[in-house]
Structure 1
Amino acid sequence: MNRLLRFAAPHAVEVIDVPRAELAPGQVRVRTLYSGISAGTELTAYRGTNPYLTSQWDPEIRLFRGGADSGQLAYPLDGWGYSEVGEVVEIAEPEGGLPADAPRVGDRVWGIWGHRAEGVLTVEALRGHVLPDGLDPLAAAFVRVGAIALNGVLAADLGVGSTVVIFGQGVIGLLATRFAVLNGATVFAVDGIPARREAALRWGATHALAPDAELALTLRELTGGAGADAAIELSGNYHALHSAVRAVGADGTVVASGFYQGEATPLHLGEEFHHNRVQLLASQIGSAPNRLRARWDVPRLQRTVVDALADGRVDAASLVTHRYRLDDAAEAYRLLDTDPSAALQVVLEF
């Protein structure tokens, strides 16, 4: 049998047993070692706020359609999760044999197969996903979230001499802070949790600020009156998005990387957004920024993160604050839902 995590209903987590799948030619069985819990996207499924529960995404015209009774997904939701690491235990070779960069039995790989004891993936899905020698498998659970952070940094077009304000210093925010520093930018980190501000300073931020009413004025003082060149908003909070708009100067760029839910009442577009001609960009892991798509794609984002993890430029494993067995997953989600300040990265161990 295979064990996997199920959202039976909003705020209801179960662990169920399902039959072990047989492999078809060209498929790989991976025994899970670690699976990172997303405190953003996954919590929308846990809480019942994910847009796929109330509407349907039409990929051809790229619109959500339908009303509250026509969701694309419905409870129970099985096997959520997108930050997995495991060991290949079985391969059903495709006709013609395995490609040179395909995994072999015994290799450790990263990928997406959800919170389950075993994943079955195609050989193609795991090509190039073998962990480099010496890379801690726990660190490899950060490849996908690291790519989200890097994508936001690329969208902000940072370099030596740039100033950027990064809102939200959770896991993805801290990774974005580190990548922005590696790009040569001066980073002003913003978070309401003191421990996260302290972590941001350790990860290279020049200043770590609380999101108070004077934040925009403070940032003007720190930038000689100019405001920041760019801001990256990663908390998914509309108040923070509005603060990001106020943080940048004339013709500044705001990269909205959070997964926003509900109405955007706190966001005011008739003030600084209008008068400073602020450019507001959405960043989402489905593709690289427009100006880079001839050279960058999601696999390159992920390879870049793997390289940074492997050579020590990014110490992602140090962000893990809590580990739970799969049987205790309900406790992990309750923690993230009710006391987010208590944790950074929560990981399920298998």
Structure 2
Amino acid sequence: MRALVITGPGEAAAGDVAPPLAAPGEVVVDVQRVGICGTDLEFFAGSMAYLRSGHARFPMRIGHEWMGTVSQLGDGVDPGWSGRRVMGDTMLGCGRCRRCLRGHQHVCAARQEVGIRGDRPGALAEQLTVPASSLHLLPDQLDPALGALVEPGGNALRAVQGAALAPGHRVLIMGPGTIGLLCALFARASGAEVHLLGLAGPGLEFARSLGLAHVWTQETLPDLPVDAIIDAAPSAELPPWALSRVEPGGRVVLIGLAEEPSRIDTRDLVLGDLTVVGVLSASPALEETIAAYADGSVDPRPLIAATIGLDEVAGVLAGARPDGAGAGPKIHIDPQRG
């Protein structure tokens, strides 16, 4: 089968690899749609932290935002999965440790991450092998684009849940990338008053096209009380700023990661009686995300700028924009296109 393989920093190409076989407890999925995210760009650049820690190594096959149809079953897998449209959890815990047994497999010390960690090949390929226990069924009304947006949507939904928003609350979301925009859509669906902060330019203009009325730069941000702040930006300076800006008794949710460590003043936490929440994974919110997409309360499809084939992926990882791409931040791949 064909797959996208990164052989080293700045080196990637689509080519032939051995087709996957389902081990006991696993399934083979015919992949229909995959999204590219910031982690994939870090692997291509060679800057992803897992490459330094030894949790990942070249050559590697990326892709963890995916959907497809189950085509093969390994021994012991429920036959009911055959032919079903699914997406899958990225985080694959060992299933035996204290964290896994408490339902926290996404922070298992021995976890694999599809297309990211532990030599588990990713979904930028015609087929993918994953444990059947990681699958989530997609209802018929979810098209392939929505199915491949469940994983990033789950991250955003967990961030919004961490902000503990209620109708009438005011939330400031920092960063108009895919996760920040998804946070804005989920926060709007909760009834909160949504404000989005970013750098002047196309990203903020696109946010306005989604019907987000309160879009600001740091220079134009009004001095309004903010009940919660969600940091979805890759900036080391923003977390301490958020702690000083949120209302006393409020919440700050951290989901963006910077290359450099942030330095926060714990006095801001104590004197502001603040709650700070970190979000690593979509795992606990995947089913709720599927439900929100299925009932139409959140529709993230406008974020997709283009859908391309495997042969175009290397160029996108290198920074090229597909011909005819829209203004959205997300690029999708249909591996069956070639």
Is the pair's TM-score, using the shorter chain for normalization, greater than 0.5?
yes
Whether 1:80 and 2:78 are equivalent positions in the alignment is: no
Correspondent of 1:157 among 123, 148, 164? 164
Are 1:348 and 2:333 an aligned pair? Answer: yes
Question: Counterpart amino acid of 2:86?
Answer: V
Does structure 2 conserve the Cα–Cα contact (< 8 Å) formed by 1:4 and 1:15?
A: yes
Q: Distance in 1 between matches of 2:159 and 2:148?
A: 19
Distance in 1 (CA, whole Å) between partners of 2:169 and 2:212 is: 13
Secondary structure in 2 aligned to 1:244? helix
Q: Aligned partners of 2:56 and 2:141: how far apart in 1?
A: 39
> Whole-Å Cα distance in 1 between the matches of residues 207 and 328 of structure 2?
15
Say whether 1:250 aligns with 2:259: no
How much has 1:145 moved relative to structure 2? Answer: 0.4
Q: Report deviation, 1:270.
A: 7.8
Aligned counterpart, 2:85: 108
Question: Does the Cα contact within 8 Å between 1:151 and 1:284 map onto a contact in 2?
Answer: no
Residues 263 and 342 of structure 1: CA distance in aligned 2, closer, same or farther (over 3 Å): farther
Say whether the 8 Å CA contact 1:177–1:204 is kept in structure 2: no
Aligned residues: CA RMSD: 2.6
Aligned to 1:32: 31
1:306, 1:73 → 2: CA distance?
29
Instruction: State the Cα distance separating 1:47 from its structure 2 match.
Output: 2.0
Equivalent position SS for 1:249: coil
Instruction: For residues 14-63 of structure 1, give each alpha carbon's deviation from its aligned partner in whole angstroms, at most 9, with x where no partner exists.
Output: 22322113334443221111110012x222222222222222xxxxxxxx
Distance 1:134 1:342 in 2: 25
CA distance in 1, matches of 2:245, 2:212: 16
User: Which TM-score applies when normalising by structure 2?
Assistant: 0.79
Gaps of 5+ in 1: 56-70, 287-297
What are the Cα deviations for residues 134-174 of structure 1, in whole angstroms up to 9, with x where unaligned?
A: 21111110111000000001111110121110001211111
- Judge conservation of contact 2:305–2:329 (CA < 8 Å) in 1: yes
- The 8 Å contact of residues 20 and 127 in structure 2, kept in 1 or not, is answered as no
After superposition, give the CA deviation of every residue in 1:192-225 in whole Å (9 maximum; x if it has no partner): 154432443454534100133x63xx2x2xx3xx
Query: Which has the higher Rg, Structure 1 or Structure 2?
Result: 1
AA in 2 matched with 1:98: D
Report matched runs for 1:1-350 at 5 Å. Answer: 2-39=1-38, 41-55=39-53, 71-76=54-59, 78-94=60-76, 98=78, 102-105=80-83, 107-111=84-88, 112=90, 113-126=122-135, 129-203=136-210, 205-212=212-219, 215=221, 218=222, 220=223, 223=224, 227-264=225-262, 267=263, 269=265, 276-285=272-281, 298-299=283-284, 301-335=285-319, 343-350=328-335
Return closer, same or farther for 1:342/1:202 CA change in 2, 3 Å cut-off. Answer: closer
Q: Which protein has greater RCO, CA pairs closer than 8 Å, 6+ apart? A: 2
The Cα of 1:120 is off from its aligned counterpart by 1.7
Residues 286-332 of structure 1 show CA distances to partners (whole Å, capped at 9, x for unaligned) of 7xxxxxxxxxxx35x11111111122222222211022211111111
Secondary structure (helix, strand or coil) at the match of 2:137 reads coil
| Superposed displacement of residue 342, structure 1 | 6.1
What do the CA deviations read for 1:261-302 (whole angstroms, capped 9, x no partner)?
A: 2243xx56388667645443322117xxxxxxxxxxx35x11
2: distance between equivalents of 1:278 and 1:75? 42
Name the amino acid aligned to 1:347.
H
Cα separation, 1, equivalents of 2:75 and 2:51: 37
Distance in 1 (CA, whole Å) between partners of 2:268 and 2:213 is 25
Task: Determine what percentage of the aligned residue pairs are the same residue.
Answer: 28
Give the distance between the partners of 1:184 and 1:202, measured in 2 at CA.
Answer: 19
**CA, structure 1 residues 22+54, in 2 after alignment: closer, same or farther (shift >3 Å)?**
closer
Give the direction of change, closer, same or farther, for the CA distance of 1:270–1:283 in structure 2 (3 Å limit).
Answer: closer
Distance 2:23 2:239 in 1: 46
Distance, in Å, in 2 between the alignment partners of 1:28 and 1:323 is 25
Give yes or no for contact 1:181–1:204 (8 Å, CA) kept in 2.
Answer: no
- 1:252 Cα shift? 2.7
CA distance in 2, matches of 1:344, 1:277: 35
C-alpha separation in 2, matches of 1:92 and 1:73: 26
Inter-partner Cα distance in structure 2 for 1:161 and 1:85: 35
Is the 8 Å Cα contact of residues 303 and 328 (structure 2) preserved in structure 1? no
Count of aligned positions = 299
SS at match of 1:35: strand
Question: For residues 82 and 22 of structure 1, do their structure 2 counterparts lie closer, same or farther at Cα, with a shift above 3 Å needed?
Answer: closer
